[in-house]
Structure 1
């Protein structure tokens, strides 16, 4: 599969999330810059706010204050319909619970982003969907099966293929390898890193899998409301030990 993608530049400034009834923000990030084509891992203990941060970066949830700018566009200031359009045009999302639609085949779940633009996806997108399923380690016997009949690991790989369908500038993945066996974890990691290094896609990954995080260009640790920045996973492990 040939991709021609250029990633997006992320800038966070003074970003804070405070839920009703709380006196202390779940997190406060004074400043963060992620250049295009970077692969960045985000780790941290359960309940630290990683998934909430993920949703803020995608414009799904709005923080209480601060800016989330992609290529100079503060998506937190966009009206809801414009944020939705921005996501469709720029972002490939892999959710922790996959967000697949039972009753549809694996292929049609992968093609869902195309259905937003057309009732009948173009032939080249169908070919690309087949190729992505194959690249994710799913053979032709899975393509036409209802996703409700697939294993959790197979469903996770369908969600991964769907996120890549429209060649987004940005891939954001919440625990993308959690349900996979070691071989498929490595396969998905290879695909994510190839997108960043060969095609310039900006890749952000939330994960507890050190085998994946250690391969990222950079690792961030969200702990006690603060995003600790490390050059690599080895530094992040040392920070967590202190």
Structure 2
């Protein structure tokens, strides 16, 4: 992956244009515009036709995936009880029925493959938070909450009484300015739109409140960590996830 970041996409190209930068940008465009894999393949083929011969641009969606995977942003798919009693994770990962209601995690199927009733997506956040300290710009921003001066107006959660109460209650945590303060939010929506089938999907978003107001609410620092599956509203069971 480091090699893909160091090498120019072709000799004489603009500084910073590398196979990795091209792959991440293409993946971002795919996500923003909900492009199909075939569409990305077509774009990659088109770019390769117009770039100089011998260029290092990724030539397919598969090649883009391989490059982006090297960034170390993995995800886990975890089985969930069909009644949202528990998730089958860590020491419970090998169970095939719920510890509370006894429901099986697999549907009855006539075929050889086993079909899961319900699964969730978990995107670990630790590595993404570590990367904030690997850049000089964001590392400085991650210390902002403890270094800025309060002007009298609440412009950031660190100016509020609740934040100060937390620091007073947990002085050992507050003493290290690089410790991370996270805000968590979620809201459900129907990914199929109003005209589609009934479905409730709940993304859980985490943002580091260490960052100054100009950064902490920007899209780049809103980290998707969990996708709580549907089709039904999780209601009180949301805490299970």
Coarse TM-score class (shorter-chain normalised): under 0.3
Q: Which is greater in Rg?
A: 2
TM-score, structure 2 normalization: 0.25
Structure (1 or 2) with the greater strand fraction: 1
Calculate the TM-score normalised by the size of structure 1: 0.25
